[in-house]
Structure formats: C-alpha cells, structure tokens
Structure 1
C-alpha cells in the first residue's frame, strides 16, 4: 500500500489522480491532500478519501475547512501555508508525491519532496522551467525518483529503452545518452489549441471564455490559455530538455490536432516509436503511479476502425509566437526560462482578468525577456529573485498598456 500526497488535489490532475486511487484502493492510500483556497471541493475530497492531513495555501481557507471537517466528524488535521506544504511533501510516511500545483507556487513543495527522496510524479512543469539545472541536480543527489506526468513527456518516457527510463528516473542520464541509444530526435505533439484555424486578424478579439475552451483536453484556466498560445508546448520543450538531457535542436514540435499520438521518439535507423491513447490524463497518471507495472483505468481503448484521419503540421511563428519565445529562451539558458515563465504567469492572469488582449500575452512576455537582467540563475535564491523581478517588470508593462 503506497501512501500518496497530492499537491494540488482540486485541479484537473489532482482529480484524475484520485480517480486512479479510487479504482485501486488495495494499492494506494491518501496521506494528504492540498489546495489553495477551494474549501468546498476539499471538504468533499477529505470526507471521501479520509486523508490524515489537508493543507490549504491560505490560512483563512484552512480555518474554514477545519471547522467544517470537525462539524462532519472528520479526523483530518488541517494545516496552512507554504511551509506546511513543504513539510507534508517531505513527510516520513509519504511514498509518492503527485506534484500538480500549477505555476511557480509548486516549486518549493516539489523540491521538498525531491530532497526527502520521495517518488515524485511531476505534473508541475514550471519546476523544470524555472529551475531545471538546480532541480535535476537535487534529484540526482537525493536519490529521489522522478516520473513525468505531462502526457507528452510520459509518452516519450514510455517510448524509451528500459535502461534510459531508469536513468531518467534518477537523473543518471547525461548529454549524449540519447545518441548512445541511437535516438536522433524527440517529437512533441501539440493539438494547436482552439485557434489553429482562426484568422490572425481575429486574435485581438479572442475572449478568455474562448481561450479556455480546449477542443480535446479538460484542463484548468491557466494551462488552457497556455495551450491556446502554445506557450504550454514551449514550456514542455524546456521540460523535455532537462528531463531527457536533450539539446533544443533535437526536440521538434509537431501539431497534431486529434491528440491521439501523445509524443514520439525517432531513432537513427529511421524508426519512430509513438505512444497513442485517448486524451485522458488518467492514462499517464496510472502508468507513473504503478511504474514499472501497468494497471487498469476506466479510459476506453482506441478503436482504430473508427479513428479519424491523423494529421500533422508545423507551428506558424506568426500564430504561435510564445512557442518560439520559449525555444529561444531555452537556448539562452536557465535565467531566460525563469523570466519567461514568470512573465507568462502574470500576462495570462491579466488576460483572464480582462486587462490584456490575447495577442498581447506574447508581446508582454517578449518585452520582459528584453528588459530583465539575464545573469546566471543557478542557486535557488537567485532563481526566486529573478522570478520576482520578472513579475514586477511584467506588471509594469501591463499597467502601461492598460493606461
């Protein structure tokens, strides 16, 4: 019985994780659930899964949840704040930590789990975008196990030889490891989001409601907007760079609107191995939770006799400038990706709040990259300081554009 901590239990990844837990109660028990401020959702999850701990990022939400749980006769202990998140992620009884807190807020608790040598299921791509070199060094030195949850990285992981899978898990992989295994390229597939066929002239009028309506996946608001701008794919490219120690030039983004092929690995003999499945996050989550075994899910199998045509294309720079900003930032190094991630979090929040046009998200991100000092950000303190600097710069640019 593996004891599970879910960081970000009320989000889409957290919900899918709990579906897998519910299907396999003989394998998994919930030690702790965490959320930011979703008291009503957390109350229902705590009453159903009976975790020993519940952690809320905000104290007011924690107090409210504690009162409601006590009234319901629950024995769950409620904690609050970033330090509590870190403590729970590193709890001695935790075996597996699902790192599914969206954005920079997930970095510190995910690092805490890594430093405590847990098995970390990484859905928080920002941990690698913000602090890739530092984060992976912590995995290597602590003895933690790291398994990718993003459907694309999980797909690539599944397409690798077993020896490389083990090297990725413990970050024993190094520059040149892929070539030694005759791998020439990693192919990240992208749906293209809801605006793949939309005229560029219409981009200034795109609303938040339109941007979060993804055609294939059910996701949170922020990641849905990132998918619409393809910043999400840019962040995933940066994540793949660190996870698989692969040069940027050997990672290719391919638009595949049907989201049936989740990613591919191209070998030097011309073979391409792909991982296919329904666009349902329960599949990669179950794979990582039980690795190296495979366990059942409620996800229906593909019916190839009914499968529509599978199509592929490249991403237009004019349509998806955020993708190319991310590729260039990855080439520049850690500081640039840290600044870009911070700028994007601020600009997407401003768009969702009606303070910024859809087409201005990439403009703000590009301007932040131009303005931020790109000194080397290797240690955690420097990374966090650069993150804050980039956020302030982004806020000033948005305020100027709004005035």
Structure 2
C-alpha cells in the first residue's frame, strides 16, 4: 500500500502523497467505512457494490441507524459492525444473528472498527466524534480517505503530523480538495502560486443582505446543484462550508491562508484549480457527483470505473465565475481570520457554527445570526485568553466542547439582537 514516506510537502509534515507517486496495490483491497449509512458512506458503498471483485469489507459503522448498518453488513459480508449509540448493541446483535459479523457499540467500538486491519478507510463520521476513529486508522499507517472536516478544522496540524509520523496516507475525499490533490500533481511545491477552491454560491448567491438575514430553513435547504445532508446544505447556503474547506486545504496541503483563494462558480463543474509559477492554471472538472472524488480515493494510485454521468460541456454551454462577497457571506471572512489566528481558533469556528446551525434549524435564531454567533464566540474566546496550540485529540475535543458551551451561552443575546 501507499506510504506517507513519500510526501507532497515533505518538510511541512504533510501526509498527502507526492505527485506521480505509485505504489503496489494488492489484487484485493480490504476496506472499512466509518459512517457507512450517511451520504458519503452511501456513495462509497455504491462504488464498492460495483467492484466486488476488487474490495473486501472489513468493518462498517453507523451512528444509530442499526437496520441500515445490518443490511449493509450482510450484503458485503463485513467482518465487524459497530453502532456509535451504546444503547443499540442488542438491536444490532439481533439484526446480525446468524451471520459471522462481530458487533460492537459505543465510541470504543467505532474506534475498534477504524483500528482493524483494513488497507483503506473511509473516514466519514461527522462531527468531532470522527476525530478519534480517524486517528486510530492513521496510527496504524492506513490509507485514509478523509471526508470528516473536523479532523482538520479542529486538529489540523496535530492530525497531519501524526499521519506523517505513522506513515499513513491521507487522501482528500471532498470534491474540492480531491480536485486540488489531482491538480497539484502537475507541479512541485516551489512552483506553486495558489490554489483556488470553487463555490457554487448556494441558494442565496444573488440575494440581498436583508433577504439573506430573513431566509427560512426551507429556502436554505434548496441547494441548486448538490444533494447533501441538512447541516452541510445550510453551511453551503451561508458559505460556512467553503470557509471550512479553506481551513482544510491549509492543513492538508501545508498552505498559508494567502495561498488559498475562493471563486464562486455556480455550475459546480470546476471543483478546484491550481496556479503555478509559469502562470499555468490546472483545473479538475466533473459533474457534481460525490462518487467521482470518492472513486478517485478508492482506486488510488490507479483509477476505477465510476458511475457518475459523463461531463458534457457542450450541453452545459457556459461556465461562469464571480468573486465571493465577504459582506453578504461573512462566514467566509471568519474562516480566514480564524486560520490566521490559529491556536484553536478554527476549532472554535467549527464548534460555534454547529451550535448556530442547530439553533437555526430549531427556529431559535435567524439565518443571518449564524455567522454573528460564530464571530461572537471566537471574539469571546480570544478575549478570555484561551488560545493555545493543540497537541492531542483530547486538547481538540476539550476546545470543541468548551467552545460549544460558550456559543450556547451567547446564543440568547445574539437571538435578541436579531429580533
């Protein structure tokens, strides 16, 4: 399997593999999917379904959807299945009675699933709960397809350094970071000028500030291009998701904030671009289908057949671009600010956003208050002198927990200001 002994930005302790590096891949690759019943997990299982002769499933996990997890475990003959909710163990055992699949429940069982001897691991457990399982896969030197933003947003430096030390290989599974990964293969680190992450602009791309402020949940969930979960769709509407991707790109590829640009591209056909010193710009294009970047990670260092629709540029007709508006979408500005601040600020950014989005879904705050709550939480965190380097998963989880509490404390006054 691939090893992070060959690095993209070696001296910067990145565990993203070097351009054009190849590694021997066994005929049968064992895989584990953490978060198998979510949207990313579903796309991954769909790809595995179409290539049964190449992959063998070692472990599958789910948060609480026992029946869907058991169905997948039976279909793929998984050796181990774990549900994060410890109260659902008996139900899982009953659902898998008569099979050879071992069962587990709770955080330790999900970590065990990641630690089992699979060559390739999809890390798609959402939220801070995905950090320790991903690290369990990293620590044994596995190839990890990373779809969990929190691993990098909450603990980026620590996570990538630990991956490099263990000889793990980190493959970006998000469409934008996977696009950058593919485009970066056209040059060397010293030739890099900048990377460009594209953004659809979401459903409020052309809305006025006053209208965005009053947007309803139903309106926020009407993404023009992508079919995603509720939380990420709302993040896309606020462009908070693009801010998280800027932070991820910085840690994944060892980039300074000024080396990362965002470009609004409503058609979502170009997913990422890289500019080099000769002013060549290399882009990755594809239909908006998460199975494409996942297929790239699943087959790496080779390519496999993917089920996504062929790209028909003649039918699309035109591709358009706009500069991002930081006034209408302050969440993007806050991402750059927190990245420059460092020392846990990006962890606070993510935690406060999760509290804010949950409050918006519950009808406690307006859409426009999401970014205000995040900004207020970061400012309060800095004023309290809480900034410090994160050196362990427990550090990151503690900051995440405390930042959520601070955001919850600030929530009533933010809601009051917006009323």
TM range (shorter): over 0.9
Map 1:1-400; keep pairs closer than 5 Å.
Answer: 1-70=28-97, 73-91=98-116, 93-161=117-185, 178=189, 180=190, 182-372=191-381, 373-380=385-392, 381-400=394-413
Structure 1 residue ranges (4+ consecutive) displaced by more than 6 angstroms after TM superposition = none
- Point out where structure 2 has 5 or more consecutive residues left out of the alignment: 1-27
Aligned mates of 2:298, 2:65 — CA distance in 1: 25
Aligned mates of 2:412, 2:65 — CA distance in 1: 29
SS in 2 for 1:266: strand
8 Å Cα contact 1:336/1:374 also seen in 2? no
8 Å Cα contact 2:343/2:387 also seen in 1? no
Aligned mates of 2:257, 2:154 — CA distance in 1: 16
Aligned mates of 1:375, 1:130 — CA distance in 2: 13
Q: Deviations over 1:224-265 (max 9, x none)?
A: 111111111111111111111111111100000100001000
8 Å Cα contact 1:90/1:118 also seen in 2? no
SS in 1 for 2:247: helix
Q: Deviations over 1:284-321 (max 9, x none)?
A: 11111111111101112111221231010111112211
8 Å Cα contact 2:61/2:113 also seen in 1? no
SS in 2 for 1:159: helix
Aligned mates of 1:402, 1:318 — CA distance in 2: 20
Aligned mates of 1:260, 1:346 — CA distance in 2: 31
**Post-superposition shift, 1:386?**
1.4
Q: Deviations over 1:363-398 (max 9, x none)?
A: 110000011134213212332221111010011112
SS in 2 for 1:366: helix
* Alignment RMSD: 1.5
8 Å Cα contact 1:100/1:123 also seen in 2? yes
**Post-superposition shift, 1:400?**
4.1
**Post-superposition shift, 1:401?**
4.3
SS in 1 for 2:100: coil
8 Å Cα contact 1:364/1:394 also seen in 2? yes
Aligned mates of 2:361, 2:125 — CA distance in 1: 19
Q: Deviations over 1:13-66 (max 9, x none)?
A: 101101110111111111111111112322332232221111111012232222
SS in 2 for 1:189: strand
Aligned mates of 1:322, 1:189 — CA distance in 2: 16
8 Å Cα contact 1:132/1:334 also seen in 2? no
SS in 2 for 1:128: helix
SS in 1 for 2:313: coil
Report the equivalent of 1:174: none
**Post-superposition shift, 1:340?**
0.8
8 Å Cα contact 1:133/1:334 also seen in 2? no
Rate the CA distance shift 1:341–1:23 in 2: closer, same or farther, 3 A. same
Aligned mates of 2:415, 2:103 — CA distance in 1: 40
TM (norm. structure 1) is 0.92
Aligned mates of 1:397, 1:62 — CA distance in 2: 37
Report the equivalent of 1:170: none
SS in 1 for 2:155: helix
- The count of residues paired between Structure 1 and Structure 2 equals 385
